[in-house]
Amino acid sequence: MSRIGKKEISLPKDIDIQINEQHISVKGIKGELHYNLSKLIQITKTENTIKLIKKEQTQQAREIHGLSRSIINNMIVGVSKGFNKKLVIHGVGYRSQIEGENLVLNVGYSHPVSIKPPKDIKIAVENNTNIIISGINKEIVGQMAAKIRSTRPPEPYKGKGIRYEHEIIKRKVGKAGK
């Protein structure tokens, strides 16, 4: 039983939502997002709330019920406020910069690593070590942050690498000296 799917989604005043059978379009001040809802879910809209109802009581319908509610809620939050992910680079000589639209990372390899962001994503660099990824689609923002982090994930001995802002790295003890 999905507890998330049962919750109603409240609509802010500046959001315009269009429901055409199973296709949902959300438009706000930051942009526009679309989603195709499963045939197992029925959507109902009142003046300032949206409610999702399962058409069947199958396992798949229960799985998609909460997922669909979360996706639609994230679309509404994304077009009204947007999403941000912050990455921090730790390590001597590790730095990042923006060249044109691309993010260029110098993280200990023999060559700089260049990452081209998708069209909906904005990347900003502060102090050469702080990277801010922002956009309206939570999934794409998170995927881009994971891609940047995967170029040099933090290692457990010295903690060098790229990590999320409040990520805690479990440190290991090095070699025992004789």
Whole-number pLDDT of residue 2: 59
The structure's pTM equals 0.85
- What's the confidence (pLDDT) of residue 1? 52
**Residue 33 domain-assigned?**
yes
Per-position pLDDT tens, the chain of length 178: 558 888 888 888 888 888 888 899 999 899 899 999 888 888 888 888 888 888 888 888 888 998 999 999 999 999 999 999 999 999 898 999 999 889 999 988 899 999 999 988 999 999 989 999 999 999 999 999 999 999 999 999 988 999 999 989 899 988 877 6
Strand partners, 126: 130
Q: Do residues 156 and 87 both lie within one domain?
A: yes
**Dihedral angle of Cα 117, 119, 123, 124, to the nearest 10 degrees:** 140
Q: Are strands 102-106 and 32-36 parallel, antiparallel or unpaired?
A: unpaired
Burial of 142 (0-12, 13-18, 19+ CB in 10 A): middle
Report the pLDDT value the prediction gives residue 38, as an integer from 0 to 100. Answer: 87
Which residues lie closer than 8 Å to 34 by C-beta, 6 or more apart?
23, 24, 25, 26
Contacts of 15 (CB under 8 A, 6+ apart): 26, 27, 28, 76, 79, 80
Quick one: 90 and 75 in the same domain? no
| pLDDT for the residue 47 | 83
Inside any domain, residue 52:
yes
What CA–CA distance (Å, rounded) separates 152 from 149? 6
Based on the fold, state whether residues 29 and 101 are members of the same structural domain.
Answer: no
**Residue 70 sits in the same domain as residue 91:** no
The tokens of 19 are what? 């429901």
Residue 96 domain boundaries: 83-164
Assigned domain for 12 exists: yes
What secondary structure letter does DSSP report for 12? P
Residue type at 14 in one-letter notation: D
